[in-house]
């Protein structure tokens, strides 16, 4: 669908509206104001998507290697804007949009992970980033965390464009608390030694202001209900497994108690 479609429709509507005004200038003023309003509304989701992206480009001093990097943090606001944007571009129904949202959220696993998308574009001498996970660190307050999972293609030589996901644990392994709770910002740090182009620059830091995010932006709906159902089923399976393990221990204790009682009875009858 052409991006000019809403503007063309708007202009036709305003032309008809102008007939109700005595002066043409009034109609033109209305046209201008409405055009600005549509333009602002049209670009709002794109503005949100850009807000959570970080881009940098680095050159090796002899120009043998250039590395362009784009990093996206999957905030709640970003995910919601992405779903709306894709739905609008593809003219999805509400059910189709909810299905896409469910699939996206399930793949991101935001309830257990902190998700980033990283896109490298390397020209000239290839980049050798392996082991990739040792080059990335997430700082939340004073605490530092290593990736819990990542696209293993990052461990191979990179020449040209390559992108993939990187995940960090959402819960502290020692305390079990959500590490983002009450935090103002997060910093993702990439070791400058990952490539020739970034070596002279040193470590690269990207900062996201979490106060600008709204975790409630994901809202409710079929997608969220399906995710909650998935979590509850998973929790039930875990509880049933724990229950079975405990039952096995109880059964073993009962057998031992029976053996002890039997021996006590035997000794008392002598």
The per-residue pLDDT for range 38-75, each reduced to its tens digit, is: 434 445 899 999 999 999 999 998 889 999 999 999 99
Segment 135-164 mean pLDDT: 97
Segment 147-175 mean pLDDT: 95
pLDDT at 2 over 80: no
For the ranges 76-90, 151-165, 183-197, 203-217, the lowest mean pLDDT is seen at 203-217
pLDDT at 162 over 90: yes
pLDDT at 226 over 70: yes
pLDDT at 227 over 80: no
DSSP-assigned letters across all residues of 203-268: -EEEEEEGGG--GGGG--SHHHHHHHHHHHHHHHHHHHHHHHHHHHHHHHHHHHHHHHHHHHHHHH
Rounded to 10 deg, the angle between the 76-90 and 94-108 helix axes is: 140
Q: The pTM is what?
A: 0.73
């Amino acid at each position: 669908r052409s991006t000019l479609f809403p503007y063309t429709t708007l202009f036709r509507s305003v032309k008809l509206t102008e007939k109700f005004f005595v002066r043409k200038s009034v109609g033109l003023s209305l046209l201008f104001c409405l055009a600005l309003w549509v333009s602002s509304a049209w670009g709002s989701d794109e503005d949100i998507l850009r807000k959570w992206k970080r881009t940098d480009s680095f050159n090796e001093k002899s120009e043998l290697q250039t590395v362009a990097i784009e990093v996206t943090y999957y905030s709640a606001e970003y995910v919601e804007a992405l779903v709306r944007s894709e739905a609008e571009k593809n003219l999805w129904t509400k059910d189709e949009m909810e299905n896409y949202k469910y699939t996206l959220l399930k793949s991101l696993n935001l309830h257990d992970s902190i998700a980033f998308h990283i896109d490298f574009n390397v020209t000239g001498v290839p980049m050798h980033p392996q082991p990739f996970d040792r080059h990335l660190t997430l700082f939340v307050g004073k605490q530092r965390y290593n990736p819990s999972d990542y696209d293993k293609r990052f461990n191979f030589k990179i020449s040209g464009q390559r992108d993939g996901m990187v995940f960090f644990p959402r819960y502290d392994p020692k305390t079990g608390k959500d590490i983002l709770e009450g935090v103002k910002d997060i910093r993702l740090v990439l070791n400058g030694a990952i490539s020739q182009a970034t070596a002279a620059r040193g470590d690269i830091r990207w900062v996201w202001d979490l106060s600008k995010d709204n975790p409630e932006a994901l809202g409710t709906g079929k997608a969220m209900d399906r995710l909650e159902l998935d979590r509850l089923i998973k929790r039930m399976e875990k509880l049933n497994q724990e229950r079975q393990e405990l039952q096995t221990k109880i059964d073993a204790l009962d057998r031992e108690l029976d053996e002890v009682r039997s021996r006590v009875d035997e000794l008392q009858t002598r």
